[in-house]
Every structure is written in structure tokens, then in C-alpha cells.
Amino acid sequence: MQWIFMIYFVAINLAYLILNYISAYQIVRYMREYRANYLPPGLREYQPPVSIVLPAHNEEKSVVASVHSLLKTNYPEFEVVVVNDGSSDHTRNALIEAFGLVKVPEAYRARLHTEEVIGVYASARYPHVRMVDKVNGGKADAINAGINCVRYPLFCVVDADCILQPESLSRVVRPFLEDRRVAATGGVVRVLNGCKVADGMLSRVGLPDRWLPSFQVIEYLRAFLFGRMGWSPMNALLIISGAFGVFYKERVIAIGGYRDDTVGEDMDLVVRLHRNLREEKRDYRIVFVPDPVCWTEVPTDVASLGNQRVRWQRGLAESLWSNIGLMFNRRGGVVGWVAFPFMLLFEFLGPIIEVVGYVSMIVLALAGLVPLKVFLVFLAAAIGMGVLLSVNAMLLEELSFGLYARPAQQLRLFAVAVLENFGYRQMNSCWRFYGTLLWLFGLRKHHRWGHIRRDGSWHHGQVENETMPIDQVAEGSKQA
């Protein structure tokens, strides 16, 4: 048994290491080709119009800042459709007051079934902004209501606690301009805690003061920069973050939109897109864009973080098992023969094997059934490879985008990359293990909104004089 655990731990970390090196090559290539703005100002009008769908439920602290951020997007033609999914706080009133929304008669085509839509609101001051007010039905249901209301062929889903940079939309839409086969794209998500936002714009990049969100900075770098970036060139990307992704509307409607009976509606949609497009024998692409395009607030307390990770693991399980027919399908390609088994073996079963492995090795060592040297080798393999992957993710960010340019920030990131492997990752594995058990035994089947406590400390009313704009921060770090 001890050798089974050893082999599994080495295998999973080697698999991640291979993805790491694929991602490093792809990011270096991307930075060489797209370091400058993608399109000259005179050619921006050729970009396709995009509808931004922003589902919101009890987001009064952040939704207004998020909409202001979207309105400052450097994009020729877009609209923002906020979907108020039966909020019990002042989300609806905050939007009406901030943007001067009034109820308007509008033809609403219910191409996707949703809970009842109470009304559609439009703004006279901001002609690009509308709000759909509806009965609570969950995030997936809210997005489907937004899809029913959008006017443009491409739609972008953004969470209500997210802040976009001015070029974010242009960069994530770029693959649709380059390749007619593209059906969906996703962007990288960064941690907003510790940053400063003024007037809806990210004005300063910083690191969180607390350890828990700091650990998540490294976790997000690892998940996006070499997790998803590694699968994208093989057209085997199975996850586009629900916080920021662009989809071809008709293709999503063709598969029935987002499912409202799963907590992992974002992953489930992408997996169903793969499955449907391959069954139809279509030549398609689902692409990941590695620019630092979307910033989101992460949990700062253990309870909220634990609930979030439990939901994510249940969503992963539901998405994989409801689409198990894609695995080893004769038309599955790399996504069915490599990516899907990888997610099943390492992401779904990984927490079970990791937790059981740790507990078993500790019990066997205490009982004297495992030599001390073997136990230490096991810890070295499990923790040492984890440290290597985390440090590699940090170095990859500094060598490419370099948003954390100050030496003090880099030193703190390095310390966090090492320390997160001593307790935080094991705690995360326990949460995911618990989420897997909940799914296996059919417990907690509600599929509504997940709630985390937010402090909104990143939001400031106006720009501070000493703050350097985000574009200057990024440019200065690249020159350095």
C-alpha cells in the first residue's frame, strides 16, 4: 500500500510538471507575439460586438464597481446586461440608483427556460446598461436569462465581484478574430485582495496582507498559468472560469444553455460543448488566453473558503460523471483520451487518495509498520514536488507578466509558494475530499448560489495620487 501511495504522488506531480513546461513554452511564445496591443486604434472597429452578462445575487458591495469597470472597457461595441437573481439585499436598488435604471417594455425571447423574469430595466445615462430582474433560480438560471436578453452573437460572462482591465475584452475576444473555428475562450483570473480599485478601475496591484488570501494568489497562478494554459494548445481545455469567459451564443443555446442542476455550471458547459461538437464532427477550438485580464475577490475566512472548495469539488464530480460518455469515445480526441481521464484520476480521485495516503502513512509510521526513512521519503515526494510546482508558477508569472514587480512582493510570493505546502494544501485536500463524499452519498443537492463573506477592502472612491495605473505597473515590470 505504501508503494501505491508513493507511485501515485509521484505520478500526479510529474503530470503537473509536464503541464508546467508546456505552459511555459506557450506563455513565452504568447508574450513574444502579443506583448503590444493586439490591434492598432484604427482597426478596433472590426472587432465583433459583445454582450456582457453579469449575474448577481446579494452583491450590493461590489456590483456597482464591477459595472463601472465594465463601462470603461476599451472596446468599440458592447452592452452590459446585469441579471439580479432575486437578491434579498440592496443589489437591485444600488443598481437603479447608480445607473438611473427605469423599467422598460422589451421583447424577451425565452429561448432558454428560466425562472420568471419580473422586468427589464434600461439606463438613460448609460445606453449600454440594462438590468434583468427575476425570481431567484441560481447562477446558471440567471446566466440563461441574460442569454435570452442579449443582442449580440458573442456573450461574455463576468462575476459581479470581478474587475476587468480596459484591454481585457479585446484580448479574450482576439481568438474569435484569428480563427473562425473558435467556439469559446477563457481568460486568466487573478486575486483582487490587496489591490486598489478606484472609479471602477484597477489602480494598483498589490498582495493581500493576510496569509489565507495570499495562499490563494499562488493557487490561482498554478491553476491558470500552467493548468489551463497547458491544455489549451491541445484543444483539451475542460474548464473556463465562470468569472470570465466568452462564448458563441447560438452554440450555447443549441446545447440547452447552462444546466441549473449542478454547482459546476461553468465546467459542465465546456465539457458539453466538447462532447456535442465532437459528436457533430465539427472542427472547433476552445481557447485559453493567459493575459491577466480579470481580478476577483477571494475568501478571507476559513469557513467561506471551505464552502467554496467543497462546492467546486462537487461541481467537478457532477460535470465529469454526467458527461462520462466523452471519455475514451472514438471521437473524443485528446480531450476524451487524455484530459478527461486526467481530470477523473487526478482531480476527482486525487483528494481521496491524498487524504487516505497521508492518514495511512502517519498511522503506519506511528505503529512502527513503516520505517522512518520510507515515511520521510514519502513526505519529501509529496511536499517537495508541491513546493517545486508552486515556485515554478511564481517564477512563470514574474518572467512573463511581472505584475508583482517590487522585490518585497517577490520575496513574499516566494515565501507563500513554499509555506502553502505545509498545511494549506492538505487542508484544501480535506475540503475536496469532503466535497467528493457529499457527492458520492447524494448530500446537499441544492444548486443555488454559493456565498462567501466579502470585505470589499479593495474598493476606493477615487484614485490616490501616489498610485500608479495598472498599465504603467505592467509596462514598467516588463521593461525591468
Relative to beta strand 285-296, strand 244-248 is unpaired
How many Cα atoms occupy the beta-carbon half-sphere of 169 within 13 Å?
Answer: 27
pTM of the model: 0.87
Q: By the 8 A CB rule, do 392 and 226 touch?
A: yes
d(CA 149, CA 46): 24
pLDDT at residue 452 in the model: 65
d(CA 298, CA 212): 9
pLDDT at residue 33 in the model: 75
d(CA 117, CA 125): 23
Q: Kindly give the parts of the chain with pLDDT less than 50.
A: 462-480
Helices 350-366 and 372-400 sit at what angle, rounded to 10 degrees? 140
pLDDT at residue 444 in the model: 63
Q: By the 8 A CB rule, do 73 and 164 touch?
A: yes
Beta bridge partners of 53: 81, 157
Q: By the 8 A CB rule, do 188 and 222 touch?
A: no
Give the residue extent of every domain in the chain: 9-349+450-479
Q: By the 8 A CB rule, do 166 and 477 touch?
A: no
d(CA 160, CA 56): 6
pLDDT at residue 474 in the model: 40
CATH of 9-349+450-479, one of 3.40.605.10, 3.90.550.10, 3.40.630.30, 3.30.70.2740: 3.90.550.10
pLDDT at residue 393 in the model: 85
Phi then psi for 133, rounded to 5 degrees?
Answer: -100, 125
Helices 372-400 and 211-221 sit at what angle, rounded to 10 degrees? 80
| N-terminal to C-terminal alpha carbon distance within the chain | 50
pLDDT at residue 2 in the model: 67
